[in-house]
Structure 1
Amino acid sequence: MSTWSDAPKIQGPPQTGDVAVLLDYVKKLANITAKMAKDLEFILNGNVAFDNIRTNGIEAKNIKAGSITTEKLQAGSVTADKIMVNELSAISANLGHIIAGLIESVEIYGSYIATRRGGYPRAEMSQTEDMFSTYASPSSYVKMAAVGTANGSPQLTLSGGGDSVILYQQSQRSLLHSTKNLMVSSSYDIELSPSSRGRVWVSFAQLCDNDTGKSLSELLGLG
């Protein structure tokens, strides 16, 4: 189907008395009129094809809904400044890989968020077990979980090279667990201050002198 922009011009009748020339003019005029009528009928029936549209020639409000189908759209022919929606949900599609932009005042559910993709160090937030975490490497990290692996209570895990310290509430007497020796070091006194009704519990057999290696129980002659 031809476009309106390149449709032949209708010229005035030739100023001649030659019957053959006049007959040829009438035939051409009939052909042009028939083609234009066919194009016009096609458009008025709701079929708008790109060969009928000139740049900026038809506004969106003048295009009938459903009259342009995807097979009529050339790849890359629709640009962002030609799309206007009030909500992104109006576009039903997988947005794919977004590499730039700014998102403000939104609610995001069920997502994985990381400060780096496939590298270290990085911070992560997800809906799985490691809800908040920071990684220096796969084996060196700080991880916060709402449901811990020990007994289902909230859990904070500090791991370095395979050794870990886990902070969680297992019972009324257990709060901290370590896979290796746990060292508490301070430039000042280390003070354990339970409430007036509480006590500091420790086994004399496990409380040892750093210089002699003997337990308090041995030093007191209790065992």
Structure 2
Amino acid sequence: MPTPQIPKVNDNASLEELRDCYIGMNRYLTYLLTALDTQNISRLDAKVIIAESITAGKLAADSVETGNLQAGAVTAEKITVDELSAISANLGHITAGLIESIRIFGSYIATRNGAFPRAELNNTGDLLAVYTDANNYLTIEPGITGEPTVTIRKSGAVSLILGPAFGLTGLLASTPIVLGTQNGNTNIVCGDSDDVIIPSWSQFKNTETGTSLQAELDSLRAEIAGKADISHSHSVSIPNHNHGNPDNATSGGGTFSVS
């Protein structure tokens, strides 16, 4: 909109000139006031603006301060953005019934705030944890060689570790381990060219008798050692059997070597 050109009046103007100037100013001001709209105002300085609406395209950057907004004046249905990141702020404490997302990034996510039992995701220390209480919990955390390792702690102390290390997959416990099923067999399977390795037969025991496989083997070895060797001698008694022929000698006993 062009800058208004208000007619000027000379100090020595006559009454007729003053009258014409008044009429001109009245007409010009009437035109300005009736023609005001968002299309022809490029700048407006005012303390109070009463209008039906002001579009965002007509607001200069940083021109609206939150201190000048009436409390409750901006409601959720009046906000439309493509992404929440368009609103730059610390969202503080958010309560939501349902959050659906493709990706969520955060430093700490938990099912409860400081209470138990709870599960949590953390980007430092343990990657994932499930707590019964503060001293009894399971974590998935970087192991001794950096691979994810399952660690169970009981009363604050490590009771079981499961994970890879130095090219092996280990299961290490601080208490006895029971491996079995309530129904069916328990099978130990390894590769076709590999072995099931046991430190010692003396550590392979029968739970009913408490006897180790080494003790059973030693007992069998002792029993076998007390038996006869493969080469021995014995007596065989053969009764008389000449079929009524007196020429046949009477058979007696004899000693024979058997090999």
Could you say whether these structures have the same fold, taking a TM-score greater than 0.5 normalized by the shorter chain as the test? yes
Cα–Cα, structure 1 residues 197 and 68, in superposed 2: closer, same or farther, change >3 Å?
A: closer
Once residues 96 and 135 of structure 2 are traced to their aligned partners in structure 1, the CA distance between those partners, rounded to angstroms, is 31
2:197 aligned with 1:204, yes or no?
no
1:99 Cα deviation from its structure 2 partner:
0.5
* 1:140–1:159 contact (8 Å) kept in structure 2: yes
Partner of 2:18: none
Q: How many aligned residue pairs are there?
A: 178
Separation in structure 2 between the aligned mates of residue 144 and residue 184 of structure 1, nearest angstrom: 22
Match of 2:72 among 73, 76, 95: 76
* Compared CA separation, residues 77 and 199, structure 1 to 2 (3 A): same
Please say if residues 47 and 68 of structure 1, whose CA atoms lie closer than 8 Å, have aligned partners that are also in contact: no
The verdict on how the C-alpha distance between 1:61 and 1:93 changes in structure 2, with shifts beyond 3 A counting, is closer
What secondary structure does 2:119 align onto?
strand
3-state secondary structure, aligned to 2:190: coil
Q: In the alignment, is residue 156 of structure 1 matched against residue 150 of structure 2? A: yes
What SS does the aligned partner of 1:205 have?
Answer: helix
CA distance in 2, matches of 1:82, 1:90: 15
Deviations 1:125-149 (A, max 9, x none): 222332233222223333223x22x
| Separation (CA, whole Å) in 1 of partners of 2:76 and 2:168 | 62
Q: Distance in 1 between matches of 2:76 and 2:211?
A: 77
8 Å CA contact 1:46, 1:64 repeated in 2: no
Shift of 1:75: 3.4
Structure 2: tracts of 5 or more residues without a match: 1-28, 220-259
Whole-angstrom CA distance in 2 between matches of 1:73 and 1:95: 19
Aligned identity (percent) is: 38
After superposition, the Cα gap between the structure-2 partners of 1:46 and 1:111, relative to the gap in structure 1 and judged at 3 Å, is farther
TM-score normalised by L of structure 1: 0.64
Aligned-residue offset at 1:62 = 7.5
After superposition, where does 1:36-75 map in structure 2 within 5 Å?
45-49=43-47, 51-53=48-50, 57-61=52-56, 63-65=58-60, 66-75=62-71
User: Highest Rg: 1 or 2?
Assistant: 2
> Any conservation in 2 of the 1:133–1:141 contact (CA below 8 Å)?
yes
Cα 1:120–1:48, aligned 2, differ >3 Å: closer, same or farther?
farther
Q: State whether structure 2 residue 122 is matched by structure 1 residue 126.
A: yes
Judge conservation of contact 2:160–2:174 (CA < 8 Å) in 1.
Answer: yes
Q: In the alignment, residue 70 of structure 2 is paired with which amino acid? A: Q
Aligned counterpart, 2:137: 141
SS at match of 1:120: coil
Mapped partners of 1:121, 1:176: distance in 2 = 26
Match for 1:158: what amino acid? I
Instruction: Give SS of 1:103's match.
Output: coil
Q: What is the RMSD computed on CA atoms of the aligned residues? A: 3.2
Q: Distance in 1 between matches of 2:118 and 2:188?
A: 35
- Kept in 2, the 8 Å contact 1:114–1:122? The answer is yes
SS of the residue corresponding to residue 191 of structure 2 reads coil
Structure that is richer in strand per residue: 2
Aligned residues of 1:114 and 1:123 also touching (Cα < 8 A): yes
SS at 2:90 equivalent:
coil
